Amino acid sequence: MPADALNAALLPAGLHDVLPSEAAHEAVAVERLLAEFAAHGYRRVDPPLVEFEENLLSGAGAAMAKQTFRVMDPHSQRMMAVRADITPQIVRIATTRLANEPRPLRLCYAGPVLRVNGSQLRPERQFTQVGVELIGASEPDSDAEVVLLAVQALSAIGVPHLSVDLCVPKMVERICAGLGLPDDEIRALRAALDRKDVAAVAEVGGPAAALLETLMSASGPADRAIRALTAVELPEEAELDRRRLTSALAVIRAAMPTLTVTIDLVEHRGFGYQTGLSFTVFSRDVGEVGQGGRYQAGVGKERSTGFTLYMDYILPAIPVAAAPTRVFVPHGTPWTVAAGLRADGWVTVAGLAPVTDAVAEAKRLQCGHRLADGVVHPVE
């Protein structure tokens, strides 16, 4: 078996070892993201890898039930689930342990999740989620805050050419319900919209047809979409969605005037539990890098929003920091001398025994420099 195939066979499909430079790359990016969240007042929490199944897979977590590994807890004789998503854990912490903390409650997190199956687009079964939750906040400014924070944090780690697509996943249903359409027609319309099938929308749309066609054709650049939405008459609940969307967009525009923002007025896929303004962040060359939106947290249905960034999508998009400069420190160099080099920012690689050719040894150990006679020399 060739070395690559042998290596791949060592691990189950969709699981991999993160090797030297890549592991440092990911760690630096994650810490930088968390530092941005912290600077905006988001405090880090770190839930465990496993929890009782019924806690992890209730509410927002229910969608992940089929993607979740279970193990028996020998202590309680109850089933535990290995987390496939961190958001439900943060919601649990916010609404139980931190129920008495003042609202809005800003929390952030980073950690690995494990899934039973990869997908064709994403064969990985373990990846790192990094995100924030803004719990107990209903204002359009809170919708804007998380969009801006996602973009700001991704920019800070060097993700290039960012754009944001806003949507309100429940708006179509609210329009149809507001116009008195029965549930089965709403489902047929939803399917037609998902196919972007204009003819079918016209056919089954009834009183909503014209309005939905307008929304479909108005999707695109944010300002145009808002103008189109303002020009039509909307049922009451959808009109509230429009006002919130308009307010949040104004805050986003004021903060980041050059950010590319689009609005998809009929999108809802991938936003199963979102109840209000939702969004996807894209980087031009790699596609989707994060997703978030408004939801109701816990049994008390606290109005909340947040986002999750996926490190496996993000890392290919960002520049790798220059490898640190390694200096070979020959055997017998006093500890204080090597410590002095480290204090100056060098990575020291100690010789563990005398060698006759220090230059060759430095090269062999992948050092670009070596210490000789108390001075650091480059190694050609």
Binding residues for L-histidine: 85-87, 115, 129, 133, 269
Contact status: 80 vs a second copy (CB under 8 A): yes
Contact status: 19 vs a second copy (CB under 8 A): yes
Of 355-374, which residues contact a second copy (CB under 8 A)? Answer: 364-366
Q: Which two tokens stand for residue 355?
A: 């060698």
Contact status: 2 vs a second copy (CB under 8 A): no
Contact status: 49 vs a second copy (CB under 8 A): yes
> What's the rounded Cα separation, in Å, for the pair 350 and 369?
12
Contact status: 337 vs a second copy (CB under 8 A): no
Of 266-305, which residues contact a second copy (CB under 8 A)? Answer: none
Considering only 63, 65, 116, 355, the residue that binds a second copy (CB under 8 A) is 116
Residue 146 near residue 134 (C-beta atoms within 8 A)? yes
- Strands 220-221 and 78-82 come out as unpaired
Min separation Cβ 278 and a second copy, Å: 18
Q: What is the layout of strands, in order, in the sheet containing 287-297?
A: 43-44, 105-114, 126-135, 302-310, 287-297, 278-283, 162-167, 260-264, 220-221
Of 165-224, which residues contact a second copy (CB under 8 A)? Answer: none
The β-bridge partners of 280 are: 165, 291
The β-bridge partners of 164 are: 261, 281
Min separation Cβ 282 and a second copy, Å: 21
Contact status: 122 vs a second copy (CB under 8 A): no
Closer residue to a second copy (CB): 55 or 260: 55
Binding-residue total with a second copy (CB under 8 A): 85
Stretch that binds a second copy, among 174-182, 233-241, 277-285, 323-331 (CB under 8 A): 323-331
Contact status: 157 vs a second copy (CB under 8 A): no
Stretch that binds a second copy, among 206-214, 227-235, 238-246, 334-342 (CB under 8 A): 334-342
Considering only 62, 350, 360, 378, the residue that binds a second copy (CB under 8 A) is 350
3-class state of residue 104 by DSSP: coil
The β-bridge partners of 70 are: 81
Contact status: 312 vs a second copy (CB under 8 A): no
Min separation Cβ 309 and a second copy, Å: 17
Residue 243 near residue 229 (C-beta atoms within 8 A)? no
> What's the rounded Cα separation, in Å, for the pair 94 and 309?
20
Closer residue to a second copy (CB): 62 or 72: 72
Give the N- to C-terminal CA distance of the chain in Å, as an integer.
Answer: 37
| Cα within 13 Å of Cα(280), Cβ side | 19
